[in-house]
Amino acid sequence: MLGISSAFLYALLTDRVLLVDFGPDMADIFCEPLQNSTWLLPDGFPFRNQFYSPQFREAHSFGTLLRDNNNFTQSVLPLPPPILHLFLSYEYGDYDKLFYRDENQEFLQSIPWLTLRSDQYFVPYLFLMPRFRAELERLFPDKETVFHHLGNYLFNPSNQAWGLITRFYDAYLARADERIGLQVRVFNTKASPIPLVAKQLLKCTQSEGILPQLQVSTNSSFSSVKVTNNTSSTKTKAVLIGSLYREFYEEMKYEYWTRASVDGGGESVGVHQASHEESQNSESNSHNMKALADIYLLSLCDVLVTSRWSTFGYVAQAIGRVKPWILNVPNTNYSGDRLPERACRRAVSMEPCFHYPPSYDMKKKVVVDGEVGTGPPVVHCEDVSWGLKLVNGRQIERLG
């Protein structure tokens, strides 16, 4: 979703039509964005069966063309080929990254067909390119809602996906006074054991006032419990756990069932989880359908806690237009069994992070603002120190 939205915006800026190549793993997950039309690549499109092969990348990529033509430093440019591949995934090479050099866009404009492969949200870097900056400023006066608008325009869940979303929402979330989404992504359960992460999650939600504080002792006598039939003043909070693992749901549910809150019952907490697949299986259509349902359910929450580095959380926060708290997932390789002192921090923007932008040396050649001290609305990400994200009302931070 992040890659497609970035490609769509690039197509919009360069007067191109966007076609997408969905495999069986993505079948019937999204509706078509436009009625009586399709954005799906035709079955008989040339090279379609080769798009994902290393041979296609080597033979047709823009990076290869630059490498073989000495980075276009010669006086005569090569003849534009009929098709050119833009490889912009996280493992792209130095020549591939030259896509972001503003002067190279003139040559790309002459190519009839561009294929683009990316798993990155590279929109922030488009704001750094002088050729696109003015148009982007007109399109998006609010820089923190770029993906919100792109995503809500492009991605409409299918009837089957909406069924998963609405049935769960109506049954478990709709009647709560406040909905709280906790999206927990653990990339390595050995370095970040689930019990330790669960403890950090509880620390974050309580220290930031997202969930009520719990009493330390669980041995309260019956006479000390205040019982009342008047529940009109009790605020209900529905907690949605978005994670591959069931343990986070079980731990949170157990804590708020067996321990009384410090406020004596002023808030009632219910804990729910729509799915727990245990492992990521992006090749599975049913797995991706459930993942999309989880994303949209999280986007319907009033408060979000997301995980560092998680593109899943990025999409949920941006679709829902919610500025999240970012969980500081503990890593025993660096801190042992001790929890990091700061459990979570508030994001400066609801925009996704561009994880792998070109280096600073590359960027200096791209950004040519005339006024000293001013720059595009881009800063480093809170969760990825070298990443970039869009913000409102901020001068660009020095990188390096």
Q: What angle do CA 90, 93, 98 make, to 5 degrees?
A: 100
Secondary structure (3-state) at 342: coil
Q: Please give the helix or strand (H or E) that residue 261 lies within, else none.
A: none
Q: For residue 369, what pLDDT is reported?
A: 35
User: Which parts of the chain have pLDDT scores under 50?
Assistant: 218, 220-230, 360-373, 394-400
Whole-number Å distance between alpha carbons of 281 and 287: 6
Q: What is the pTM of this model?
A: 0.88
CA distances from 107 to 40, 45, 66, 298, 356 (A): 26, 24, 11, 42, 24
Whole-number Å distance between alpha carbons of 213 and 209: 8
C-beta separation of 333 from 192 below 8 A: no
Residue 234 token pair = 């009790």
Q: For residue 366, what pLDDT is reported?
A: 33
Q: For residue 222, what pLDDT is reported?
A: 34
Nearest residue to 386 via CA among 356, 349, 344, 347: 356
Residue indicated by tokens 């245990």: 278
Q: For residue 203, what pLDDT is reported?
A: 95
